[in-house]
Amino acid sequence: MVGEDPVSNSEVLYDEVRELGYRGGRSILKEFMHPVRALAKEKATVRFETPPGRQAQVDWAPSRSMVANESRVSR
C-alpha cells in the first residue's frame, strides 16, 4: 500500500510502484495483493452505535409534495 490511502487494487498499485522503480510484473503483484484485498474487504464497513438523540440519518433524494393543490419537488 503506497501513500496515505491504502490501495488494494493491484492495477492502481502497479502504476504507483512503477513510478517508484518497481520492475516486477503485474501477475506477481496481483498474487501478492490477493490476501491483502481479502483483509481490506473485511474492514470496508465499520459499524458504530451512538446514544439515542446523538445522530440522525437523512436520505438526500428528491421528493414530491402537495401544498395548496400545487405539486412541488424538493431537492
Instruction: State the SS3 of 49-68.
Output: CCCCCCCCCCCCCCEEEEEC
Is 5 a member of any domain?
Answer: yes
Q: What is the per-residue pLDDT across 8-60, written as a single tens digit (0 to 9) for each?
A: 688 888 998 999 999 999 999 888 888 877 766 666 566 778 888 888 877 77
Residues in the chain: 75
- Domain, as residue range, for 3: 1-47
Residue carrying C-alpha cell 395548496: 68
pTM score of the predicted model: 0.43
Q: How many domains are contained in the chain? A: 1
Is 35 a member of any domain?
Answer: yes
User: According to the model, what pLDDT value does residue 43 have?
Assistant: 60
Give the whole-angstrom CA distance, residue 36 versus residue 22: 19
Is 63 a member of any domain?
Answer: no
User: According to the model, what pLDDT value does residue 1 have?
Assistant: 43
At residue 47, φ and ψ (nearest 5 deg) are -90, 140
User: According to the model, what pLDDT value does residue 73 have?
Assistant: 65
Give the whole-angstrom CA distance, residue 30 versus residue 13: 9
Is 64 a member of any domain?
Answer: no
Least Cα distance to 65 among 57, 75, 55 occurs for 75
